Chains A and B, each alone.
Chain A
Amino acid sequence: MQQAIPYKSWPLPCIDATSHRARSTTTLGHNGRGKDVLNIVSENAVIVLARKGCCMSHVMRRLLLTLGVNPAVHEIDEEDEAGVLNELGTICKGTENNKMVQLPAVFIGGRLFGGLDKVMATHISGDLIPVLKGAGALWL
């Protein structure tokens, strides 16, 4: 049951909205090559990038599931990590954090949203569901 939340308009992501229908896949496999990652990030409304066996990504995933979102999860092998983070750094230029992406990270609407900190804080302040809806990850 979704609670009533005051309507907020969120900027639509620059990427074509039709490519955002969330895939129902969960774990996309361990293919950690940089370019593949960029594709995966842009193709999914919500995707969690994490190291293998990371418990924090489990927390992220469970929280999103509770909200009615089935996020894609992409696990990154240790050896691929540096390359992947580099690639991700290119698409994160222009957002607030110019630093390297910290894992686990969630991407909403093709854009870096943040780590678990950001997800928790946004959820508590009641702003997470509108963001998810705006990215097409949640209907209702």
Chain B
Amino acid sequence: MNSPTPQFVPSRLSIYEPIHQIGVWGENFKRNGNPNTSTSLIVEVDNKLENESETTSHEMLAPTNNYEQEASKPIDKIQRRLAQNREAARKSRLRKKAYVQQLENSRLKLIQLEQELQRATQQGLYMGGVLEGSHIGFSGTVNSGIAAFEMEYGRWVDVQHRQICELRTALNAHISDIELRILVKSGMGHYFELFRMKSTVAKADVFYVISGVWKTSAERFFSWIGGFRPSELLKVLVPQLDPLTEQQILEVCNLKQSCQQAEDALSQGMEKLQETVSSTVAGGPVDEVSYIPQVATAMEKLEALVSFVNQADHLRQETLQQMSRILTTRQAARGLLALGEYFHRLRALSTLWATRPPEPSLP
């Protein structure tokens, strides 16, 4: 950076601006102490300021003109180099994103393992000597159930992504309705597959499903009983489906209302369950050391949570089914594309969030 030839510097340094600003610019340099800029330029300007008065701008015009003339030739080279830098930086950022996403996944797995361990320890305390052998087996089963789900879910997301791309291509290519029908069916079936997977892992550990640790952070933000709200789903879908017939608008409206009613009923049931578990755990005298009866009873009540997850998924499934009955094949395809793209963007948001730069410190 100490070469004698004039160098292109970022426009904020304004070397092409009128003379009277050069003095200010030089001072800005000194104040910020920016190490990235050319020190030789500073020295040059400073020298000129010292040797001549500020009002003799005439002499200073010459170096400015020199900058302008000579800078026009190396501009292309410089701009090309900058473009290459940008490209390299972009690629580097993408690589970093992928790496951090991997780290994020590993971190989540670590959290799960720690929770497993904690739970196994607590169960060890609770079940005492009689079941000592089996409690290890239980948490082992839980572990493998969760591990199996994680693997399957990873594959599920990949297949989902592929299906979305296929749908997009198919819709743009205007393929026949018959072929589109096949894509719609497999798209719907894919969601139903997820509900089956969730049902299985819910039996192993319902808290795992409800916590949503298996999803990305932005998806988790919208989580309702271990998944998306069916009414939210409709809000995402419907704007993408224009134009709808009068009849369809009416049916969608009815569906929205039924969906909301069913959701509310389930939410209220969940609240009741929370109250029940809370009062069970809190019950009994606190000055006694033994809390086993309360905790044991609460465990039984928590079994209902599995039903809630199943009912919530069932509601999601029925909502999707009803939508597919209301819509034409083409509309259903657009709907599936919109839905898949929405979740894809939420996942991208999560990754972006995870890789957001730290608070910038002043130079």
Contact = CB atoms under 8 A, between A and B. Distances in A.
A23 B250 CA distance: 33
Nearest to A5: B254
Contacts of A4: 250
Majority secondary structure, A binding face: helix
Interface in B221-263: 250-251, 253-255, 257-259, 261-262
A53 B276 CA distance: 8
Nearest to A54: B304
B272 interface: yes
Interface in A112-128: 116-117, 120-121, 123-126
Nearest to B325: A125
B261 A126 contact: no
Interface in A63-103: 63, 66-67
A59 interface: yes
B314 A120 contact: yes
Contacts of A59: 265-266, 268-269, 311
A3 interface: yes
A120 B315 contact: yes
B322 A125 contact: yes
A56 interface: yes
Nearest to B247: A6
B44 interface: no
Interface residues of A, number: 22
B258 A126 contact: yes
B322 A124 contact: yes
B166 interface: no
Given A3-B253, A56-B307, A124 B265 contact: no
B148 to A, nearest CB: 26
B311 A62 contact: no
A62 B262 CA distance: 9
Contact of A56 (B251, B269, B319): B269
Interface of B: 250-251, 253-255, 257-259, 261-262, 264-266, 268-270, 272-273, 276, 301, 304, 307-308, 311, 314-315, 318-319, 321-322, 325
12 contacts: A4-B250, A55-B270, A55-B308, A59-B311, A60-B265, A63-B261, A120-B315, A124-B255, A124-B258, A124-B319, A125-B322, A125-B325
Interface of A: 3-5, 53-56, 58-60, 62-63, 66-67, 116-117, 120-121, 123-126
